[in-house]
A and B are shown apart, each in its own frame.
Chain A
Amino acid sequence: MDSLPFHGRVGIVTGGSRGIGGAISSLLAKEGGTVAILGLPEDRARAQHLASRLNGAAPRLHFYETDVGIYERCREAVAAVLEEHGRIDFLVNNAGITRDHTVRKMTIDEWEAVLQVNLSGPFFMIKAVLDAMLERGYGRIVNISSVVGVSGNFGQANYAAAKAGLIGLTKTVAREVAKRGITVNAVAPGFIDTDMTKSMPVQAIESAIAQTPEQRLGKPDEVAQLVRFLLDDKAGYITGAVYNINGGWYM
């Protein structure tokens, strides 16, 4: 098997400096890909730290300060990646936030903030990269949704709505570009051990683990392997699919 299957490939991972996104960008860079990490100002140092642990692959990680909730910023970042690296083979829409409250207590701002980043962000990014992919007749897009987008979850009306919406976006774009060499899929993780889950109250994590048939949290690397599988050239017949990885939490 080729040890650097992503050699010569260029792609974008939003929120790719830590957590699940960090695992995805490291894996792709290790396999030879050039990865543009899009993130907030505070992600710059994290991206550098990530690169520092990659030795030979470090020069293949590049950071672009970008708030994916703003279309203009997405367009600028994509233009910069194209100018500096010449092509975009894959896009992983991973950046995401939570603002948890029950609907009774959820503010309109909390609702809008989560939809802006988790749902409009992927739409903006897809819109920004699509012409370049269509021109070459090749592309791989993976959207990181969540088990919660299918199951719903107490206190996460905004997050669940955004993640369910992302599945609708995935399937629609998959149909629109099906004949053009571009696949669009969603990965729906269960509870994964990252800063996002670390910020949950201990009790909530414990109950999430208890409710997971495998009785553990997933690891970012496990999700990264699945994303990488879908980004492969040979995954061309998989499109419009939602792949769960959740230790049995939701079937």
Chain B
Amino acid sequence: MFEGRVALVTGGTRGIGAAITQALVESGASVAAGYSRGRESAETFARQMSQKGAAVSIHQGRVDDVVDCNRVVKEVMDRFGRIDYLINNAGITVDKTVRKMTVDDWRQVLDVNLSGAFQMTKAVLEHMIERGSGRIINISSVIGETGNVGQANYAASKAGLFGFTKSLALEMAQRGITVNCVAPGFVATEMVAAIPEAALSKVVEKIPQRRLGRPEEVARVVRFLLEDDSSYITGAVYSINGGLDM
């Protein structure tokens, strides 16, 4: 389905991002997956993907560092010659109540989750405009809609992505570029594994379906939005959360 297409997935070697990389590879795309810290595990992941016969490259870089963003995009362009899809997936949590949250905690999360998406988008946008086509997907979160105790920084960054997505969607509407958000509920990845078990079982109790989502389920929504036939969908927020937030 995506033969000849190139996707850049930030945080694309772990968790939800890894599932997105895999889904796109299985649909025939070449995928450039970003990572920031885990070189070894990123390399292992890339080897696994390559065994599927697909072109997967990994790129080290911090999305909160504009120099890294531009360098990674250049690496991907040098290697594949084009970028059709950008998936802004890299994200972190630094959870504390506002009373205890330091300015650094606040800034760090906004820098990665929100400014990171902006900087990566800036780095690919001219290329997409030139070609008159592109798809940008921002991975937001149910928390961006509902807020959450101990996640003021995270919720603000993820709600910020809604505003960013919609503004950019309007700016790009006549240029063949769609911009959308996918807002997952709680998904079984390392990010959720960091939640203490007692707290997690409380969370699951609040989910009408009484289970966590799987990374592959989120990846399916992303893949759908990337299809050529999905061009009338822009500025939208597609939730996938087992009914947690309706």
Contacts and interface: CB of A to CB of B under 8 A. Distances in A.
Interface in B186-220: 208-210, 213-214, 217, 220
A45 B184 CA distance: 43
A178 B185 CA distance: 15
Interface of B is mostly: loop
Contact of B208 (A174, A225, A235, A243): A174
B43 interface: no
B232 A214 contact: yes
A215 B235 CA distance: 14
Contacts of A241: 238-241, 246
Contacts, number: 101
Contacts of A213: 169-170, 173-174, 234-235
A241 B246 CA distance: 6
Interface in A126-144: none
A98 B182 CA distance: 32
Given A179-B210, A234-B220, A237-B209, A219 B246 contact: no
Given A241-B240, A251-B236, 6 more contacts: A175-B208, A214-B173, A218-B232, A225-B229, A232-B220, A247-B234
A178 B208 contact: yes
Contacts of A196: none
Interface residues of B, number: 33
A79 to B, nearest CB: 29
Interface of B: 1, 166, 169-170, 173-174, 185, 208-210, 213-214, 217, 220-221, 224, 227, 229-243, 246
B234 A214 contact: yes
Interface size class of A (residues with CB under 8 A): 20 to 34
B209 A246 contact: no
Interface in A185-210: 190
A100 interface: no
A47 B205 CA distance: 45
Nearest to A235: B220
27 contacts: A1-B1, A171-B246, A175-B246, A178-B210, A179-B209, A214-B232, A218-B232, A222-B232, A229-B224, A237-B185, A237-B214, A237-B217, A237-B241, A238-B221, A238-B239, A239-B209, A240-B243, A240-B246, A243-B233, A243-B236, A244-B235, A248-B170, A248-B234, A248-B235, A251-B166, A251-B169, A251-B235
B233 A239 contact: no
